[in-house]
Amino acid sequence: MSTVERSGETRADRKEPAYLRIAEELREQIASGQLDPNDPLPPERDLCVDHNVSRMTARRALTVLESEGLIYRSATRGTFVSEPRVQLRLGSFSQEISRAGKQPGAQLIWSETQSATTGVARALGIATDADVYALQRLRSSNGEPLALETTYYPSDLVPGFLDGDLSGSLWTEIRGRFGVVVARTTARLEVIALDTTLAEQLGARPASSGLLLTRRTFTADGRCMEYAQDVYRADRVSLVIDRAVDE
């Protein structure tokens, strides 16, 4: 290829990059309902022709919409409009999904007794190397994976916890079996990029956005009974937070 020749476009829109203009146009079509959830978008090569751009530019426009959670791509099938995000109230995954009339899922990935690393020990307020129960679960709604949840519990507080039922609400399980009642929770939330492993587990693209919720749960007497790191698919979830204001 030699010199880049600008095609005879109008000179008016010189400021707005082509990929943003195309993204805008497709976004409009989705917002207006011309395209419904799971409807296919035009193939990338068609978008190139329609908008008179190269494929890299058309792809860039789609990547913008993908990062907004408006579309999803399948390498062999095409590009499609996403379903609306799932609303989750903070702190009760199963309950929230059920309320929305969907089927909550909790697939156990692993569970084991560990000796606490310094980070986990500090979070739980126990001695380093003390025994903790750790488990990882993939949380889903109607079979769609939404979050990967890794939780830690001091073993002395909930002895034999891992032998129980780990397929539902763990708070309910803990209250029922050990009489331990949850009183307060602290969480830090940030947007991260999903690494290759996480992306694969969540069925998302590597380097796409995730919501990392690092949280601690306390009993009425102020003891930390749970330390958790939850990673949500940022494109599929919105979080609802209710809170009393302590002034």
Partner DNA sequence: CAGTGGTCTAGACCACTGG
Contact present, 136 and 199 (Cβ < 8 Å): no
Q: What DSSP state is assigned to residue 162?
A: G
Dist CA 72 CA 141 (whole Å): 17
Q: Which stretch binds its own copies (CB under 8 A): 33-41, 107-115, 129-137, 235-243?
A: 235-243
Nearer to its own copies, 127 or 183 (CB): 183
Comparing CB distances to its own copies, the nearer of 56 and 127 is 56
Q: Minimum distance between the CB of residue 200 and DNA, rounded to whole angstroms? A: 12
Residue nearer to DNA on the CB measure, 58 or 170: 58
Does residue 149 bind its own copies (CB under 8 A)?
no
Q: Comparing C-alpha atoms, which of 146, 119, 144 is closest to residue 228?
A: 119
Report the distance separating Cα 28 and Cα 237, nearest Å: 21
Instruction: Name the residue nearer to its own copies (CB basis): 14 or 188.
Output: 188
| Phi and psi, residue 234, nearest 5° | -65, -25
Token pair recorded at residue 140: 């889903």
- Our finding on whether 127 is near its own copies (CB under 8 A) is no
Of residues 170-229, those binding its own copies (CB under 8 A) = 171, 175, 181-193, 196, 206-207, 209, 211, 217
Shortest Å distance, C-beta 223 to DNA: 45
Core vs surface per residue 40-57: b (16+ CB within 10 A) or e = ebeebeebbeebebeeeb
What 3-state class would DSSP assign to 122?
A: helix
In whole angstroms, the minimum distance from the beta carbon of 127 to its own copies comes to 26
Q: For residue 113, what are the β-bridge partners?
A: 133
Q: Which residues of the shown chain bind its own copies in the complex (CB under 8 A)? A: 1, 16, 20, 23, 56, 64, 67-69, 85, 87, 90-91, 171, 175, 181-193, 196, 206-207, 209, 211, 217, 234-235, 237-247
